[in-house]
């Protein structure tokens, strides 16, 4: 018995030491793997699967928890375009194979990717696409290919754009919850699901108009990519859903051939002039990201690209969202950095908290006062609060199919008295020293004076929004009020009415920033800074090894699931909001 405890302790320490040693060896294996430079074989084909969510900036997304999480690096749009450009000059890359059945990002992102692929084609290298079955947006993107191949049992889901909006008022009435709603702008439809049972006429007008314009932009681009498909023919195909089977898609010229995957391989073997028995050397985007280096040289003259993506939320430091807590400090550092000569604000946001939006807007104004040009570049969305933060920019560059504008404000306040009193049997009594001391509570009906105060606050913020836009866009207040009203526009329409200066992508905005700053030679720096989790990188290197898994943009949740989660979070944020909001009513899906 005397020897038990020393033996036990020695054994216990031995186990700990063995585990620690094993863990250390694993880490060293991971570090070794990270330090080894991967290479791409000659004659490789870059395999692009762009189905999942693509952030603007690499890894600017909300991370999943879990110490051994296999969440992989989410390549940003800018990095993907950079890799496509590098591949065009890479002698080891012979061409690109696009493999998309569906895509889960916005229409402006599709245009940006399409332009990058068009630039790639100037290298005289091929681009082919293959799908088991195309969603509408996948077909839109893949139409840039030299030839399009489809599984014989597939189809092309080309049928135009539509939207379905859920309305909750009847349900809320049944459970005894009423929302006191205050808004400014006839087209500000964010609150409609909580106060109506169907879309208002104003909302129907704006939605029908921007969906039609989005459809026209898609059709025009597909027609340019596939010359035999005129806009009239594409409209006719969509009207009768005439791409729904592979046979019909081929007959109508939507695709060029029907291939099973082994037949696709045979085609590519011939294209690459490979000897019999030789396999095609595919390289996934995730691997290419680890091998390819940007050629951009460092310079004393820098242009800061500030990615403002996600909802605008007060007081958070989370990645993938915009907050005054994170962005005001970041923008102040940029303003004080003597090497930064200009700022490009890349906006991809449906809006959010009005207070946070104004603080970010002001810091951008401070940058302009410091003599640094500010150019705004719009992605899929630059609406409401997203437009607010950008409206003072020296110039605004938008994609033609960006959803923008939505200059309006709303506030919602729940009244749960019926639910609590009648349904559950909970009553509240109040003693107060002043009229509003216990006011603005979901446990009591709002008085008429309280409602008037909240409507007044909403209108004050709307007037401030109008003023910011009028001065930033150099428009009269009256003309701004006409095009505001919470109305959503496409980037193409926004340019016609003065909310946008030029149509183009991020590269166009950067070039414009350099011109405004009067600099010929420069390098770019991207913000916000995303802190890398070295431990997670090592664990991924150990667990993934040299697998050919295309982890470039994959998460444990799919892109569609992320879209649905975003939609849920939108409604939840609207319900929970305590402050005036400047946001879109929902995220539109263009699958």
Q: Beta strands 403-405 and 488-490: pairing type? A: antiparallel
> For residue 570, what are the contacts with CB-CB under 8 A and spacing of at least 6?
311, 350, 583, 584, 585, 586, 587
Cα(153)–Cα(157) distance, integer angstroms: 13
The residue from 44, 104, 138, 384 that is catalytic is: 384
d(CA 469, CA 389): 10
Query: What is the distance between the alpha carbons of residues 13 and 4, in angstroms, rounded to a whole number?
Result: 14
* Tokens describing residue 452: 């008037």
Clarify whether 125 is annotated catalytic: no
Cβ density class 482-495: b for 16+ within 10 Å, e for less:
ebbbbbbbbbbbbb
Place of tokens 């409507």: 455
For the stretch 168-173, contacts whose Cβ atoms lie closer than 8 Å and that sit 24 or more positions apart, written own/partner, are: 168/193, 168/194, 169/193, 169/194, 169/195, 169/196, 169/197, 170/197
* Nearest C-alpha neighbor of 397 from the set 357, 351, 448, 347: 347
* Set 57, 94, 188, 495: catalytic member: 188
Alpha helices in 518-556 (DSSP H): 534-544
Maximum alpha-carbon separation in the chain = 94
Q: 42: helix, coil or strand?
A: coil
**Cβ count near 456 (within 10 Å):** 10
Q: Strand, coil or helix: what is 183?
A: strand
The secondary structure of 274-329, three-state, reads: CCCCCCCCEEEHHHHHHHCCCCCCCCCCEEEEEEEECCECCCCCCCCCECHHHHHH
Number of alpha carbons in the 13 Å side-chain half-sphere of residue 209: 16
The reply to whether 189 belongs to the active site is no
The partner residues of 257 in beta bridges, in order of sequence, read 149
Q: Give the residue numbers annotated as catalytic, written as ranges.
A: 188, 384
């Amino acid at each position: 018995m005397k020897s038990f405890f020393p033996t036990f302790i020695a054994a216990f320490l031995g186990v700990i030491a063995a585990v620690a040693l094993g863990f250390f060896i694993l880490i060293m294996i991971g570090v070794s793997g990270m330090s080894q430079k991967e290479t791409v074989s000659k004659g490789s084909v870059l395999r692009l699967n762009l189905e999942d969510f693509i952030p603007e900036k690499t890894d600017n997304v909300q991370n999943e928890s879990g110490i051994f999480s296999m969440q992989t690096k989410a390549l940003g749009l800018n990095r993907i375009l950079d890799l496509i450009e590098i591949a065009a000059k890479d002698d080891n890359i012979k061409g690109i194979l696009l493999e998309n059945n569906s895509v889960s990002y916005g229409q402006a992102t599709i245009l940006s990717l399409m332009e990058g692929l068009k630039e790639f084609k100037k290298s005289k290298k091929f681009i082919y696409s293959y799908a088991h079955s195309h969603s509408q947006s996948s077909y839109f993107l893949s139409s840039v290919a030299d030839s399009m191949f489809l599984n014989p049992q597939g189809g092309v889901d080309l049928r135009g754009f539509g939207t379905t909006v859920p309305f909750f008022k009847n349900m809320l009435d049944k459970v005894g919850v009423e929302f006191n709603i205050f808004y400014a702008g006839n087209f500000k439809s964010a609150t409609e699901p909580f106060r109506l049972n169907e879309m208002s006429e104003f909302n129907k007008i704006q939605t029908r108009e921007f969906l039609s314009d989005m459809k026209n932009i898609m059709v025009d681009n597909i027609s340019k990519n596939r010359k035999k498909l005129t806009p009239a023919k594409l409209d006719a195909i969509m009207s009768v859903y005439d791409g729904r089977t592979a046979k019909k898609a081929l007959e109508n010229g939507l695709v060029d051939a029907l291939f099973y995957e082994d037949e696709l391989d045979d085609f590519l073997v011939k294209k690459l002039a490979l000897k019999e028995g030789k396999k095609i050397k595919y390289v996934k985007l995730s691997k290419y990201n680890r091998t390819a280096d940007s050629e951009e040289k460092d310079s004393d003259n820098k242009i800061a690209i500030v990615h403002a993506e996600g909802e605008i939320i007060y007081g958070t430091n989370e990645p993938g969202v915009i907050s005054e807590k994170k962005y005001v400090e970041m923008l102040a550092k940029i303003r004080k950095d003597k090497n930064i000569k200009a700022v490009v604000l890349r906006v991809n946001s449906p809006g959010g908290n009005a207070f946070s939006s104004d603080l970010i807007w002001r810091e951008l104004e401070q940058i302009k006062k410091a003599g640094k040009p500010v150019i705004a570049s719009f992605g899929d969305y630059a609406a409401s609060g997203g437009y607010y933060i950008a409206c003072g920019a020296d110039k605004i560059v938008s994609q033609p199919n960006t959803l923008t504008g939505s200059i309006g404000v709303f506030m919602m306040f729940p009244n749960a008295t019926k639910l609590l009193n009648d349904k559950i049997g909970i009553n509240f009594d109040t003693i107060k020293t002043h009229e509003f001391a216990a006011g603005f509570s979901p446990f009591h009906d709002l008085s008429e004076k309280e409602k008037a105060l909240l409507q007044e606050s909403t209108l004050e913020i709307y007037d401030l929004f109008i003023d910011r836009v009028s001065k930033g866009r150099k428009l009269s207040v009256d003309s701004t009020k006409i095009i505001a009203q919470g109305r959503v526009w496409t980037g193409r329409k926004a340019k016609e009415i003065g909310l946008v200066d030029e149509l183009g992508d991020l590269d166009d905005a950067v070039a414009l920033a350099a011109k405004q700053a009067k600099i010929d030679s420069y390098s770019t720096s991207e913000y916000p800074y995303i802190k890398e989790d070295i431990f997670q990188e090592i664990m991924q290197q150990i667990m993934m090894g040299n697998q050919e898994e295309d982890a470039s943009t994959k998460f444990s949740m799919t892109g569609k699931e992320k879209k649905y989660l975003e939609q849920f979070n939108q409604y939840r944020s609207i319900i929970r909001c305590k402050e005036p909001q400047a946001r879109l009513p929902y995220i539109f899906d263009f699958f």
